[in-house]
Amino acid sequence: MAIPIFGSGEMFINTKGSIIYTITFDYLDPEKEYYKIIKTSLKQKEENRIKKEMQKQLINEKTILNEKYEFPSVKHAEIGVKNVTKISFARFYIEIPWTPKVGKNIYENIHDETVSEYSYTVSLILPGCGRFVDVEMPGNIAIKDNYAFIYVPKGTKINGYESFIFEISNECV
């Protein structure tokens, strides 16, 4: 059975009406489950299955942008193996509609409390004319210009609420 060992997410906040992000989960896969699947016609079926599962999970969360509920949509899911066939991955491409505004913008996500079963990273990327005001997420946070980098070690308590506040200048919108 594949065991999750690491996660990463990249969220690209743009001013074109959507936020786009990818989430990748790496698995220790000693039985080479994904390797076997991708070599057969079952690959598409598995990708559709995990896409539906991720969409269900996102529906159970609350995503709020500038005080308006939005509904993330999983656009695509893919599975594969790293250069060593005992490490597999599942990757999700997700979009959230939103309307940016000049000045302060707020992203909030409310979900179940949990404890991280594996370490993961999150990168938040604003347009060049954007600036982070505050980032409230578990883990170690580093902000550099229009980038925020979060590292969450395995075993971290995840309290069920995450947010970040950022500003967008006139020249962006």
pLDDT digits (tens, 9 = 90+) for 99-131: 889 999 999 999 999 999 999 999 999 999 899
Residue 169, helix vs strand vs coil: coil
φ, ψ of residue 19 to 5 degrees: the values are -110, 130
Closest CA to 133 of 122, 121, 148: 148
Closest CA to 168 of 10, 16, 11: 16
Closest CA to 17 of 134, 100, 89: 100
DSSP 160: S
- As a whole number, the mean pLDDT across the chain is 94
pLDDT for residue 33 is more than 80: yes
Cα gap 53→55, rounded to integer Å: 5
Full domain range(s) for residue 38: 3-172
The predicted pLDDT at position 9 comes to 98
Residues in the chain: 173
Task: Report how many domains make up the chain.
Answer: 1
The predicted pLDDT at position 173 comes to 73
Quick count: other Cβ atoms within 10 Å of Cβ 28? 14
The predicted pLDDT at position 171 comes to 84
CB-based contacts of 28, cutoff 8 Å, min separation 6: 2, 3, 5, 86, 87
